Amino acid sequence: MHMQLGCPHCAQRAMPAVVKALTSPWQVRECRRCGCRIGVPWWGHGLSVLPMMLVLLLGLLTPSGWWLLIGIAAAFVAYFMLRLVAVPIVAREPDGQRRI
């Protein structure tokens, strides 16, 4: 399992893992090495939200509150792990320009 934290411009570590896990597609961040604008793609956000949606759907079908709480905890862990491992960091520079 490898966290994808590299900048698409300079290939250096662009941000801490916690910052990446909390970055949404609506946010643009700067690479802490080269200063280029970076972010996460829309499809990555959708992929990481799927476990939470599944748990909420199953919560409507199960009568036990304990299973729902366990499912929500597991979905949060899956959300952050998917954000760290499967979702790449993409360039957000206008027209694919580099700022170096």
Q: Average pLDDT in the 64-86 region?
A: 83
User: Quick check: 5 and 36 in contact, CB under 8 A?
Assistant: no
Q: Is 13 exposed, middle or buried (0-12, 13-18, 19+ CB in 10 A)?
A: middle
**Is the pLDDT reported for residue 97 higher than 60?**
no
Residue 43 has pLDDT above 80, yes or no: yes
| Mean pLDDT across 74-98 | 80
Task: State residue 95's pLDDT score.
Answer: 60
Tell me the average pLDDT across 25-51. 87
